[in-house]
Chains A and B, each alone.
Chain A
Amino acid sequence: MKKHLKILKCYFRLNLASAVEYRASFISQAFGMALSNSTFIFFWWIAFSQLGGNIADYSFLDVIFIWAVTSTGYGLSKIFFANASRITQLISTGELDTYLLQPCNILLSVISAGTTLTAYGDFCYGIILMAIGYTRDIYAWGWFIVGVFIYGILLTAITVFTHSLSFYMGDATVLGALSTEFAINFAIYPEKIYAPLIRTLMYSLVPVGIAVHIPLSLYREFSFEVTLAAVVTVIGYCCFTYWFFGRGLKRYESGNMIATRI
């Protein structure tokens, strides 16, 4: 475990060093992402100033909270584990070989070997939103931090899960992109806008509801049962993903099939 933390630290350092090699575009991309996120808050500001009160049971501050968690959590996942969304590519080109030849946990070293520049902007943006909306509300900050960690971990797990499908059924790029899109859009709007069927998805296949809407409800009113259920689901989902990836690895063909044309 200690060794893997050291490797994780090493990957982070190298990723950051690669990013800093292109300083100007790093800053403009990170800043641009924060700006881009602001346009959504602009939308909500317009909507709430027209209607006042609540939309689908969420106040403007509630929306700020779910946005902050999603943005920082997304940033966390994409700063440390950006490579999760490249798994399909690694499988089809056979680049996965490099990781299989190293004495480490494969999944962990695969997902931590890349970063996304814009993610630094997402990461900071959520914190800025919290600072504006919940300045000194320690309790809200607490649930924010919990939500960010869960969102970061779950988003990574969801991405790994969908991309692991490439081991079983060929190219899962579209499915991977789609699951990310779900993971974001389930999180940044009040959950009640979605039909009940979609809402079940939000707590099962793409369980980001646990990372965003549950911390918000726990902030409003704490419940031990809900907390326990949420923790069990998150751990269960991650374990399942880990197993699913490992099982898929046995079917890995190291890019050899590309050469086979019939």
Chain B
Amino acid sequence: MAIIRTKDLTKTYHTRIKAEGLKAGFSSLLKPEYKDVTAVNGIDLEIEKGEIIAFIGPNGAGKSTFIKMLCGILYPTSGEISVLGMSPIEKRRSLTMKIGTVFGQKSQLWFHLPALDSFTLLAAIYEISDAERTRRVGELSERLDLTEFLTTPVRRLSLGQRIRCEIAASLLHEPQLLFLDEPTIGLDIVGKQAVREVILESNRDRGTTVFLTSHDPMDVEHLAQRTVVIDNGKIVVDASLEQLKREYIKERVIEISFVTPQRLPQLDNVKVTVEEGGLKVRLMVQDNLEEILRNLSTLEGIADITISHPPMEEIIASIFRKQGEVG
């Protein structure tokens, strides 16, 4: 059964054009000019129960507008939405009982109070009984390792601790559907890993459907079973993880700095950029990482070497390039 289904979903913002300067300011006060901006342009999407979906695209592509319509925050301009069999607009309240959200910078926690107090409030809001609340808070704090700082005012927690509390807050009412907007932004590697594990566990143990956006390719690679790329309010790619890996995220970037300029050995299937007169090289490697590394090990005078994923922007750009070739 499809848990989310949208048909020709569109959102247009009606924006007033702000005029600069005093004179223009006055005339725009009397006769304002408007401009329509289409953020989401006819999206059709179906998501099955238990899927983990990554929703990616450049800034301003319409990601958050789309998510906000699914949650009932924004009214669509036209088109249909059904989430868990309900219309988010008409059944907002019953829907919110079944969905959980972590929206980047927007906190559900009370800044000056311990997270535990916020949990008590959320339990009242989501109609959770006291006994049930105690059980779930206990379980979540064990899974997310919160026990030590549950009674510390939130303002004194580190970012990682706070995000873990945010995630616990959004899982407290055991939602069937979880929306995560940049859940790992600003975290260190350990923090990112902990967050990813909790998301996977929820998905595995309770069949929670997860809908996430991220700028971190590792999030997509570790979490998503399916990836949807949007641009200019339209879906550009809708692919499974295998497909995506095979076609798009297979690249690795190797960066090497040398003590003295070096000449690289002949390498196949690699894009090489030389910087600072040969002191630094950047290699875009496809699928023969191991072989390349073996070749590189013969080099002398290496000061530093790093291997990483290309950033999300480059992955997206390469997706768009491929689309262009196909289309």
Which residues of chain A have a CB within 8 Å of any CB of chain B?
Answer: 3, 6-7, 10-11, 14, 17-18, 21, 94-95, 97-98, 100-104, 109, 170, 250-254, 256-257, 259-260, 262
- B18 interface residue (CB < 8 Å to A): yes
Contacts of B269 in A (CB 8 A): none
Q: How far is the CB of B78 from chain A (nearest CB, A)?
A: 14
Q: Are B153 and A256 in contact (CB under 8 A)?
A: no
A100 to B39, CA, bound (A): 20
Which residues of chain B have a CB within 8 Å of any CB of chain A?
Answer: 13, 15-18, 35, 37, 39, 60, 64-65, 68, 71-75, 92-94, 96-97, 99, 101, 103, 106-108, 110, 112-113, 117-118, 120-121, 124-127, 153
A10 to B68, CA, bound (A): 27
Q: Are A100 and B121 in contact (CB under 8 A)?
A: no
Q: Please give me the residue from chain B that is nearest to A6 by CB atom.
A: B124
Contacts of A253 in B (CB 8 A): 13, 74
Q: Are A98 and B39 in contact (CB under 8 A)?
A: no
A170 to B28, CA, bound (A): 14
Within the complex, which residue of A21, A103, A254 is in contact with B68, where a contact is CB–CB below 8 Å?
A: A254
Q: Are B73 and A101 in contact (CB under 8 A)?
A: yes
Q: Please give me the residue from chain A that is nearest to B112 by CB atom.
A: A18
A164 to B188, CA, bound (A): 41
With A256-B13, A260-B13 already in contact, the answer to whether A18 and B126 are too (CB < 8 A) is no
Contacts of A250 in B (CB 8 A): 75
Q: Are B94 and A103 in contact (CB under 8 A)?
A: yes
Contacts of A256 in B (CB 8 A): 13, 39, 64-65, 68, 74
With A21-B112, A97-B73, A250-B75 already in contact, the answer to whether A260 and B125 are too (CB < 8 A) is no
A252 to B65, CA, bound (A): 12
A97 to B96, CA, bound (A): 12
Q: Are A21 and B65 in contact (CB under 8 A)?
A: no
Q: Are B108 and A98 in contact (CB under 8 A)?
A: yes
Within the complex, which residue of A10, A21, A98, A257 is in contact with B106, where a contact is CB–CB below 8 Å?
A: A98
A65 to B220, CA, bound (A): 66
Contacts of B96 in A (CB 8 A): 100-103
Q: Are A259 and B60 in contact (CB under 8 A)?
A: yes
Within the complex, which residue of B64, B72, B107, B125 is in contact with A109, where a contact is CB–CB below 8 Å?
A: B125
Q: Please give me the residue from chain B that is nearest to A22 by CB atom.
A: B112
Q: Please give me the residue from chain B that is nearest to A95 by CB atom.
A: B106
Contacts of B110 in A (CB 8 A): 14, 18
A262 to B101, CA, bound (A): 31
Q: Are B74 and A254 in contact (CB under 8 A)?
A: yes
Q: Which 4 A-B pairs give the minimum distances between C-beta atoms?
A: A103-B96, A18-B112, A100-B73, A103-B97
Contacts of B101 in A (CB 8 A): 101
Q: Are A21 and B97 in contact (CB under 8 A)?
A: no
Q: Please give me the residue from chain B that is nearest to A96 by CB atom.
A: B73
Q: Are A3 and B127 in contact (CB under 8 A)?
A: yes
A109 to B92, CA, bound (A): 15
